[in-house]
Amino acid sequence: MTVQSISQEYFPNEPKEPVVKSTTQTKSKEGIEQLEKSFDARSAYFIADYAKSIGNYIADVDGNLLLDVYAQIASIPLGYNNPALIETAKSDKMIRAIVDRPALGNFPGEDLDDICKEILKVAPKHQDKLWSGLSGADANELAFKATFFWYQAKKRGYKSQFSPEEIETVMHNQAPGSPELAILSFERAFHGRLFASGSTTCSKPIHKLDLPAFKWPKAEFPSYKYPLEENEEANRKEDERCLKIVEDLFKSWSVPIAGVLVEPIQSEGGDNHASAEFFQGLRDITLKHGALLIMDEVQTGVGATGVMWAHERFNLQPPPDLVTFSKKFQSAGYFFHDPEIVPNFAYRQFCTWCGDPARMILAGSIGAEIVKHNLVERASEVGDYLFSKLEKLQTKYPKYLGDLRGKNRATFIAWSLENGEARNKFLNDMKSVGVNIGGCAEDSVRLRPTLVFEEKHADVLVDAIEKVLSSY
């Protein structure tokens, strides 16, 4: 089997092009209306038929088969109904994990060590430990807990007991038992919709309106000019400007900043990129001020940008302290390497399930398939092919392909339209020609296909884009 044929090998019956039978999607609309009686379906695009979805194509109940370059919001790694993952799902190990779902903290199964080792085979460089969670937002919140525990343990003495005052005041949500500490994040960032993760999210108001928030600082993330090669000096100064803001916040914020949380590429907030120099600057600042660096790789991880973990391109010295994951890994949690990030006493980082071994088993299988078929390298090759075609389209339709970004980042590609109304019309029109595609920020389009998206799929996508744009 050649690497180039893996999509055909997995999915011999995958269609060569989309099938559009109904642009009105009547059955989907009826299904959403019925679903509304028991479930909030207002955000639903359409009702999918997952039994008929295959490879890079998602089916709906109206008989449409759409090329899917959104892939469940960047969370399908190896295509729909992947046979290798189906075999994993049928395994005895998986059946036990599902039917007898263990409380991993108290009653780990005899196979848990092997499950963890499979995941760690594809962990970020230098990260040899993990803690499991339930979702991307949960992974980030668990990382916050680990950061705060570490910060206070360092101040107190790692193995020191809690003082009577700490034990008493924590029961009233007061200091010193409940200390005033902060996580620094960035404007336009997205880290989840739970309470603490919501406090670090800053992409759209709708994500966090009406939620009480921690009063935590927000720095500015670089806003680059494109194309990058023509704006090196301006973008270097932008890095310096933003790093100074981070440094100033550490010096001036009203409470200690225990950690910095950042995405290697801001995804939901608009596919905003930053340089290796910027990220090394962040690393240096955290070291200087005794804080941890948390890399949120929920959307960028697992090969999506042409390396297994996007931050590895930056070659940070020393490496990040924690790396959170979810989405394409079908599991969630964080990686780390410093033993002192393990809370100093048991039952601190704990819940009934401590993650989900069924999803962890699947993550291990996903990692094995990616390595077996060199899918990270293939994603990079396909991304270069696709980006070059989009650059050519950009010269024809600059109004609709502005700030094309993601060069040399595999298929992690985005561009901007003139406004949100134009972007939303484009997304809808793409469905009419058989492509399911997503947006980010207010006016951007983002591509998030699977790791088995190949040149033939890129050709279908580009043809569809040109068909839509030529009608404007």
Is-contact 354 100, C-beta < 8 A? no
Which residue among the candidates 11, 148, 190, 453 is catalytic per the annotation? 190
Structure tokens at 102: 């263990």
Range 307-332 burial, b when 16+ CB lie within 10 A, else e: bbbbbbbbebeebbbbbbbbbbbbbb
Rounded to whole angstroms, how far apart are CA atoms 262 and 277? Answer: 14
Q: Is 177 exposed, middle or buried (0-12, 13-18, 19+ CB in 10 A)?
A: middle
Is-contact 275 235, C-beta < 8 A? yes
Residue 111 catalytic? no
Residue 248 catalytic? no
For 92, residues 6+ apart whose C-beta sits below 8 A from its C-beta are: none
Residue 190 catalytic? yes
- Count, in order, helices (H) and strands (E) of the chain: 15, 14
Is-contact 325 298, C-beta < 8 A? yes
Which residue among the candidates 60, 62, 138, 296 is catalytic per the annotation? 296
CB half-sphere exposure, 159, CA atoms < 13 A: 1
Structure tokens at 100: 């007898």
For 284, residues 6+ apart whose C-beta sits below 8 A from its C-beta are: none
Rounded to whole angstroms, how far apart are CA atoms 166 and 174? Answer: 9
Q: How far apart are the first and last CA of the chain?
A: 43
- Determine phi and psi for 131, rounding to 5 degrees: -130, 135
Strands 444-446 and 435-436: unpaired
Provide the 10 A C-beta neighbour count for residue 352: 10
Residue 107 catalytic? no
Structure tokens at 364: 């291990």
Which residue among the candidates 113, 288, 352, 399 is catalytic per the annotation? 352
Active site residues: 190, 296, 327, 352
